Amino acid sequence: MKLMNKLIDKHGAGHVTLRPEDDEDMWHLYNLIQNGDLVRASAIRGVKTVSSTGSTESHRVRLNLTIQVKRVDFAAGGSSSNQESGNTDEELPTAALHVSGPVTSENPHVKLGAHHTLDLEANRDVRIEKYGGWDSIAISRVEESIIPGKGAEVAAIVCGEGVAAFCLLSQHMTLVTHRLNVPIPRKSASGASQHDKGLDKFYGSLYESFLRHIPYSNVSLRAIVIASPGWVRDAVYDYLISEATKRSDKVLLKALKEKCLKVHISSPHVHSLVEVLKSPEVTSQLKETKFAREGMALDRFFKMLGSDELRAWYGPDHVCLAADRGAIGTLLISDDLFRSSDPGTRKKFVEVVEAVQQKGGEVVIFSSMHESGQQLNQLTGIAAILTFPLDVERDRFPLSFHRPSTCFFDMTKRAFSPVFAEPHARPTKRANSSKSFNPIKIATAEAAAAVDADTPFSQLMKELTKTVKQPSDGMSVVYWMRMCDLRLRDNKALSRASAQAQKHDIPLIVLFIISPQDYIAHDRSARRIDFVLRNLAILKGSFSELHIPFHVVVHTPRKTIPKFVLSFCEEHGVKTLFTNMEYEVDELRRDIEICKLAFPKGIRIEVMHDKCIVEPGVVVTKQEKAYAVYSPYQRNWMATLNGNLSHFLEDCPLPVANDSSVRLLESLGPLFNSQIPETVAGFELTDEDKAKMKEIWPAGETPAAHVLQRFLTTKKRSSQLGGVDPLASGSTICPKFNRIAKYGNERDRIDSDTTSRLSAYLTSGIISVRQCARASMLLMNSKKVESDKASGIGRWLQEIAWRDFYVNIVAFFPRVSMGRPYLEKFSQVVWENHQASSDSGIGRAGNDDDDVETLKRWKTGMTGVPIVDASMRCLNEMGWMHNRARMITAMYLTKDLMIDWRVGERYFMEMLIDGDLSSNNGGWQWSASTGVDPCPYFRIFNPYTQSLKVDPTGDFIRHWIPELRKVRGPDLHNPSAALADKLGYPLPIIAHNEARERALRRYKNPGEQ
């Protein structure tokens, strides 16, 4: 940026004229120009003139206009995007800055007061006169922007096999200047040459792109980073050196040898730049740069928040108070706050900065164009590290704000109400939560925002990069099996662990930990625990045939699991542990702790992505953010999947048997005697329910595969409507009119077995989601995954994409699993019941004895609305419910009865055999209009019209509601008061139209009755 003119008096009045030269200068202008300022710049206008002959001529003229700013829009130039398919070599646009408002100076071609938009251009002067005067922050921004010699300080190539993103990091911006995507054929015995040709083409394109997009000869460029998972970074570096040597490019060779750093990252996507900037190789060289200081300051804040929270404050009110007390040692503030359209708000933050500086404190102003600035914005945009602990009484703060308690990093799962009764139809026995273990369920909004700002998922991915690179062989390998991967076939972690054991000729051990406290924290159903135990018993036999010891242990308390696992590894000489990732907050934090304990002991932790087809973090927006809307996610998901089928649908080999001699080993022999418990205390089933679950949900991989095969090949049957064996005889194979062929048109029908009934097997990982996708391709005889929503297979795969989508949400927006709505504006909606809360304002487990009558009727299927009651009775008996029925019952609870969605979310988890946190939470928040991509709040299902659509035959209602078994026609779906009274069926709790009006009122104005 060039300073062309500056005239500012001691009171801050005056103007500055600047000449921007590049994208970063546009960013500076964006931070300087505010509503109300006077801006003068060059513009082009279309002008019409009338000639002497009366003809009209149009031409364009360049003129200078002065406007009073009403709106400022900035579009960053370099942005990331996931290419859907094909060979792409993408040039990315430059930044654009648009300033709009009325014209304030007379001009021959533009009327005074006319509205105009100035498109600010590089190398053209911009004159700015501040509406409220030039404060210290604005003047500092001008002085910083005109420092000569600035520019990119770091260049980074984030790459994987066939893909690369070229990035430039300057003081204030992270720009993705170029993207490269070259398809590389899968390597095989018959087609190795095609694979090698693809690699050669990729490396050649990357080299040419490097020359065009990396300013390697610039003096200001301090480092060139090549980052990738696996071996790619080394291969890229070697190719660049080789090619530069062939071409005798001495400048490039010198730059590569002096500036190049190779860094390991978890995924080949631009969001992994956070890992790059925190890596020891980079921080040692770049510790004096602005973006490095930002990252280190944010790291210090989060560490302080975890270790001494009375010295870590965030939120405007708290930080302002700390500044008044002179307690701030380091102030972290986002430049977003200085762009406020309210002059008073900006002034408040300027005064805070000046107050901290006057008292000798450090001020770090974060750029919201850097990843660290975006994380700070999620934490309200302002935080402080205090020089001494500050504990101010609660009544000194606004009532709407609660400090997180000392349990801040123990905020766990979903919220629930104290109003949960034991319905008469409920077949399970659940022990009351122990008084010694009463986990927090509802986080404060601020605490949840802090976790979103530095997610456990990203922390674990970072920890995994620090793991032991080349551990010793050890005496054995451990695969830690979990509740979500109960199978031998197509199990990534198990397959990798077996391969490792075979490579080093050492035995494989399988470990499973039963953790009752985790089951309580997650509201696991007794049915799910019983299903897990039944499958463990089958797995024990399968592992025994392979001479693989299967050690199952019950462990309490859950907080000592990391130490137990490491102790187990040390006892058996294990140097590598394999496991599949669980994406919930508690489980991620547990694995982070295990990684930290394992590293100094020389034990390598390998955590595989196995639950999803496309793991979290791969499908992202153009801004490298997680999608919060399903449709674009699904399109990108499908393109990503079909672009690399061999990777995402890999069929992992079965584990190889140990040598039978392992049974004779003194250390491993006793592990074969490990017993599978019949029950887990507090999660017992009645004998009747246990028998029913065994009948309708047979355990094992073989039944799961048969259930899938029947869905793909047989016709629907009304005889499969209720709680019956899904593999009962009588099915009819039909190639054209089987259930999946008709799934697109009939998936919402609940009056026969129109769906796959695979959810219980997928949730517990008894069958892999990859196996389902591969089976659909085989059925279609296709080399691509079906993406046509109009086909049955395409629509079914949409549901699999929904599953991945919700896992992605839990990973990147963990607050949704901490009892918080994704849309915080709806946290103030007035419900008919009330959540329990501790003295700190954080929700805890409640007492079922306080269940209100309305909620009891919903749980037991006695609401007086047939489709709702039939669905709830189905849930209570089968531990399962059709997805459409889940939507109808959830929306009825949240919008007709106006009962908090978290109440229903918990009840479903406690009853479902397929209860999965991400899908269950996503479904409930969708129905309640509080989540990602939600049903709009004004869309409220009419349960009676829904009933006619989903159960047109009435078979579903008649099956589950014997009181109405003899009723036919419309009365079945909405019986009159007289008919209901005659048949002994309850009247509706509330009229739907009345309930709808109440819901609309409360959602439109959250906080009002």
Rg of the Cα trace of the chain? 31
**How large is the average pLDDT for residues 634-650?**
95
Question: How far apart, in Å, are the Cα atoms of 155 and each of 205, 210, 217, 221, 790?
Answer: 17, 10, 11, 7, 45
CB 813 within 8 A of CB 450: no
- For residue 340, is it within any domain? no
Asked if the model's pLDDT at residue 566 lies above 70, the reply is yes
pLDDT winner (highest mean) among 740-749, 808-817, 831-840: 808-817
Last residue of a domain, one of 603, 638, 673: 673
Distance separating alpha carbons of residues 962 and 982, to the nearest angstrom: 13
Instruction: Please state whether beta strands 71-75 and 38-50 pair in parallel, antiparallel, or not at all (unpaired).
Output: unpaired
Q: What is the pLDDT of residue 73?
A: 84
Average pLDDT of the residues in 85-95? 52
* pLDDT, mean of residues 474-483: 97
Residues of 614-644 as b/e, b for ≥16 C-beta within 10 angstroms? bbbbbbbbeebebbbebeebbebbbbbbbbb
Bridge partners (DSSP) of residue 511 are 480, 551
> Does residue 619 lie in a domain region?
no
Q: How many domains does the chain have?
A: 5
pLDDT at 764 over 80: yes
Lowest mean pLDDT among 484-498, 884-898, 995-1009: 995-1009
For residues 888 and 975, state if they share a domain: yes
The pLDDT value recorded for residue 752 is: 86
Both tokens of residue 186?
């899968």
β-strand 508-514 against 476-481: which pairing, if any? parallel
Encode pLDDT of 885-904 as tens digits.
Answer: 999 999 999 999 999 999 99
Residues 849 and 802 in one domain: no
Asked whether residue 8 is assigned to any structural domain, the reply reads: yes
Q: What percent of the chain has pLDDT over 70?
A: 89
Mean pLDDT of 234-249: 94
Shared-domain flag, residues 138 and 160: no
Same domain, 167 and 256: yes
User: Model confidence over 717-757: pLDDT tens digits?
Assistant: 877 788 888 888 777 888 778 899 989 889 999 998 889 99
Residue 405 pLDDT class (50, 70, 90 cuts): very low
Whether residue 294 has pLDDT greater than 90? no
Q: Is the pTM of this model over 0.85?
A: no
CB atoms within 10 A of CB 345: 14
Q: What is the mean pLDDT of the chain?
A: 86
Query: What DSSP state is assigned to residue 62?
Result: E
> In angstroms, rounded to a whole number, what is the distance separating the alpha carbons of residues 672 and 327?
60
The tens digit of pLDDT for each residue in 169-223 reads 877 777 788 889 888 887 765 556 888 888 899 999 999 999 999 999 888 788 8
Q: Residues 458-474: pLDDT tens digits?
A: 999 999 988 777 788 89
Q: State phi, psi for 85 to the nearest 5 degrees.
A: -170, 170
Residue-level pLDDT at 220: 78
Rounded mean pLDDT of 496-500?
A: 97
Q: What's the pLDDT score for residue 345?
A: 83
Distance CA 681, CA 910 (A): 15
Asked whether residue 852 is domain-assigned, the answer is yes
Q: Residue 85: its pLDDT value, please?
A: 36
Tokens of 894: 């949240």
85-89, 370-374, 969-973, 978-982: lowest mean pLDDT where? 85-89
Bridge partners of 63?
43
Confidence of residue 436 (pLDDT cuts 50, 70, 90): low
pLDDT of 373 = 82
Q: Compute the average pLDDT of residues 854-872.
A: 97
Does residue 941 contact residue 888 with C-beta atoms inside 8 Å? yes
Residues 123 and 197 in one domain: no
Instruction: Let me know if residue 646 belongs to a domain.
Output: no
Per-residue HEC secondary structure of 451-489 comes to HHHCCHHHHHHHHHHCCCCCCCCCCEEEEEECCCCCCCC
Q: Decide if pLDDT at 590 tops 50.
A: yes
CA distance 837 to 537: 40
154 confidence band (pLDDT: 50, 70, 90) = confident
Q: How many CB atoms lie within 10 A of CB 44?
A: 11
Is residue 624 over pLDDT 70? Answer: yes
Rounded Cα gap, residues 785 and 639, in angstroms: 9
Give the integer Cα–Cα distance in Å for 118 and 105. 14
pLDDT band at 844 (very low <50, low <70, confident <90, very high): very low
Tell me: do 31 and 165 sit in the same domain. no
The torsion angles phi and psi of 176, rounded to 5 degrees, stand at -95, 105
pLDDT value at residue 341: 66
Q: Is the pLDDT of residue 504 over 70?
A: yes
pLDDT at 16 over 80: yes
In a shared domain, residues 584 and 609: yes
Q: Is the pLDDT of residue 89 over 60?
A: no
Report the SS3 class of residue 634. Answer: helix
CB-based contacts of 419: which residues, under 8 Å, 6+ apart? 833, 846, 848, 850, 851, 852, 855, 903
Distance CA 264, CA 288 (A): 22
User: Are 55 and 183 part of one and the same domain?
Assistant: no
| Token duo for residue 478 | 């451990």
Which H or E run includes 946?
helix 943-950
Task: Note the pLDDT of residue 467.
Answer: 75
Within this chain, do residues 525 and 667 fall inside the same structural domain, yes or no?
Answer: yes
Cα 268 to Cα 894: distance, rounded to the nearest angstrom: 41
Question: Of 831, 530, 866, nearest to 698 (Cα)?
Answer: 530
Q: State the CATH number of the domain containing residue 140.
A: 2.30.30.870
- Each residue of 23-42: b (16+ CB within 10 Å) or e? bbbbbbbbbbbbbebbbbbe
Residue 434 pLDDT > 60, yes or no?
no
Q: Is the domain of 771 the same as that of 866?
A: no
Task: Report yes or no: 864 and 995 within 8 Å, Cβ to Cβ.
Answer: no
Residue whose entry in the numeric block shows the structure tokens 């046509």: 788
Contacts of 719 (CB under 8 A, 6+ apart): 728, 730
Do 519 and 666 lie in one domain? The reply is yes
- Please state whether beta strands 2-8 and 14-19 pair in parallel, antiparallel, or not at all (unpaired): antiparallel
Domain CATH code at residue 554: 3.40.50.620
Tokens representing 886 are: 């889940």
- In this prediction, residue 391 carries a pLDDT of 59
Whole-angstrom distance, CA of residue 412 vs CA of residue 816: 10
Burial of residue 661 (number of CB atoms within 10 Å: 0-12, 13-18, 19+): exposed
Q: Output the pLDDT for position 834.
A: 52
Q: What's the token pair of residue 197?
A: 């040709």
> Does residue 359 lie in a domain region?
no
Question: pLDDT at position 748, please?
Answer: 93
Q: Which residues contact 912 (CB under 8 A, 6 or more apart)?
A: 525, 527, 528, 875, 879, 880, 881, 920
For residue 738, give the CATH number of its domain: 1.25.40.80
What are the φ and ψ backbone dihedral angles of 821, each rounded to 5 degrees? Answer: -70, 145
Residues belonging to the chain: 1009
At 977, which CATH number?
1.10.579.10
- pLDDT of 288: 63
Determine the Cα–Cα distance for residues 35 and 58; give it in Å rounded to an integer.
33
- Report the first-to-last Cα separation within the chain, whole angstroms: 55
pLDDT digit string, tens, across residues 412-424: 333 333 333 333 3
Q: Which of 169, 286, 155, 262 is nearest to 217 (CA)?
A: 155
Residue with tokens 């009853």, as numbered in its chain = 911
pLDDT at residue 55 is higher than 80: no
Q: Which of 96-110, 127-141, 980-994 has the highest mean pLDDT?
A: 980-994
* CB-CB contact of 575 with 472 (8 Å): yes
Give the residue-averaged pLDDT of 941-947: 96
287 has pLDDT over 70 = no
Task: Give yes or no for residue 837 having a pLDDT over 60.
Answer: no
The domain of 202 spans 154-286
pLDDT, position 843:
40
657 and 705 in one domain? no
Percent with pLDDT over 90 in the chain: 55
In a domain, 315, yes or no: no
Q: Give the end of a domain, one of 241, 270, 286.
A: 286
Q: What is the pLDDT averaged over residues 949-968?
A: 96
Which whole-number Å values give the CA distances from 611 to 160, 481, 581, 765, 803, in the listed order? 22, 13, 8, 8, 10
pLDDT band at 12 (very low <50, low <70, confident <90, very high): confident
Provide the pLDDT for residue 78: 52
Whether 71 is in a domain gets the answer: yes
Residue 88: per-residue pLDDT? 52
Rounded distance, CA 905 to CA 927, Å?
A: 11
Q: Catalytic residues, which ones?
A: 799, 802, 831, 883, 901, 924
User: Residue 771 and residue 779: Cα distance in Å, rounded?
Assistant: 12
Give the per-residue pLDDT at 447. 82
Dump the DSSP string for 389-402. -----GGGS-TT--
Spell out a b/e string for 763-788, using b for 16 or more CB atoms within 10 Å of the CB, else e: bbbbbbbbbbbbbbbebeeeeebbbe
Comparing CA positions, the residue from 923, 853, 847, 849 lying closest to residue 882 is 923
